[in-house]
Amino acid sequence: MWKKRISALVLLVLAYGVAHFAYINKESYRLGLDLSGGTHLVFNADTSNLAPSEIDDAMTSLANVVEKRVNLFGVSEPIVQVETGGVIGQTDHRLIVELPGVTDVKQAVDLIGRTPVLDFRLVKPGADKLTDAEKAKATYDDIFVQTGLTGRYLSHANLEFDQTTYAPRIAITFNDEGAKLFGDITKANIGKPLAIFLDGEPISTPVIQTEITSGNAVINGTFTVDEARSLVRDLNLGALPVPISLASTQTVGATLGKGALDASVFAGIIAFIAVGIFLIFWYRISGIVATIALAIYVALNLALFKLIPVTLTAAGIAGFVLTLGMAVDANILIFERMKEELRRGLDLPAAIKEGFHRAWLSIRDSNLSSIITAVILYYFASTPVIKGFALVFGLGVVVSMFTAITASRTLLIAVGAKGNSKFARFFFSSGISHN
């Protein structure tokens, strides 16, 4: 018996440690957009120019590029994911971006959608002979001709400062293909201007002094430090692999999100108290054990939410609150089986043993069906909200099997109930009956 009580004590100490871990640094829980506030953006991806076999890779690459852009802006825990939908015969590909803490939609769209276009152009033959009046009417396409050298050939870009003027400038390095192309252009056009265009506007028009085969160049312009740093960042990130257009936006204010979080936590506390009161009132000592097991269940779940980590949304917390009731289903089944064994005349230790043994198959099958449902829901869910609900629900079912079977049995046996007296049978029975 003492071994059982020591095991129960170890279990309670471990549970306290888990609860402490779950409670400290509450800010480290990952909250969804609806609880933390932020911006939800949906972009339509134009995959019309891609072969069907290329779409998945392109969308994955698109998500990676957008995620890198978002991360550079220091957005906490952004969610970037691809979503596929549509009707039969037509498949739409969308990019879902959730930015907690960002409530400025314009800033968010600029942050994601900006695609700098860098290209190098030579002056058209004869353009230098245009009169001032003709130049005033001419477009850039009338004066310059594209060389085919663009930002696509960039290897990387760095922010530098001119050693004489201390003005910011951008050093760029081409990849092997770009270096060869750059070398051919400079070799064939020594003494001619090579204009550098950014997003269709000339930012610098240096004159080629010599052939450059190293693949290194410097972009000079009237940049501020912030502009140069921003340009370096965008050039390093490169162009989006798939054109996107903004389809919808949704902004959740921080105050509204906090209100939803507070309401969800309050609902969870009320649910725990209500379930605990019912268990203790109806199942007495067994109910107290089940309530302690339920507390262990809550602590374990919260610790898992923090460790995995799970992005908690209002739907996810609703799923967790739902599992609070389901977590005691197994206990109730066990206690009812114990009552039946007591009625058959078994003493308390034997009734407890038989109660757990005979209830196990029903508990296993019931929870297994719930887990299968959660897995299917998670796999086929088309939105993060439903996936979050399925994940929290599935975790809750798995953890409840541990707490209802292992924790409850350890604690119940540690109570040391013996004999078959009316007093003992009353406190280990349920409802208004004495056995």
Using one digit for the tens of pLDDT, what is the confidence trace for 227-260? 788 777 666 665 566 777 888 887 776 666 677 7
Report in angstroms the alpha-carbon separations of 263 from 232, 268, 310. Answer: 44, 9, 19
Both tokens assigned to 165:
């003027």
Helix (H, G, I), strand (E, B) or coil at 99: strand
State the pLDDT confidence band at 369, using cuts at 50, 70 and 90: very high
Q: Where are the alpha helices (DSSP H) in 41-131?
A: 52-72, 105-113
Helix (H, G, I), strand (E, B) or coil at 170: strand
pLDDT at 296: 92
Residue 255 near residue 208 (C-beta atoms within 8 A): no
d(C-alpha 298, C-alpha 365), whole Å: 23
Decide if pLDDT at 89 tops 90.
Answer: no
Lowest mean pLDDT segment, chosen from 67-71, 316-320, 403-407: 67-71
Which is nearest to 338 in space by CA: 408, 261, 263?
A: 408
Bridge partners (DSSP) listed for residue 150: 119
d(C-alpha 78, C-alpha 67), whole Å: 8
pLDDT at 301: 92
Using one digit for the tens of pLDDT, what is the confidence trace for 36-57? 777 888 888 888 777 787 788 7
Using one digit for the tens of pLDDT, what is the confidence trace for 268-298? 888 889 988 998 888 888 889 889 999 999 9
Using one digit for the tens of pLDDT, what is the confidence trace for 137-173? 888 888 888 888 877 677 778 888 888 888 888 888 8
- The mean pLDDT of 358-369, rounded to a whole number, is 88
Decide if pLDDT at 425 tops 80.
Answer: no
Residue 414 near residue 4 (C-beta atoms within 8 A): yes
Both tokens assigned to 435:
């056995």
Who has greater pLDDT, 222 or 284?
284
Burial class (CB in 10 A: 0-12, 13-18, 19+), 2: exposed
Please give the distance of CA 344 from its chain centroid, rounded to a whole number: 53
The H-or-E segment that residue 98 falls in is: strand 92-100
Lowest mean pLDDT segment, chosen from 69-78, 104-113, 179-188, 364-373: 69-78
pLDDT at 157: 80
Predicted TM-score (pTM) of the model is: 0.60
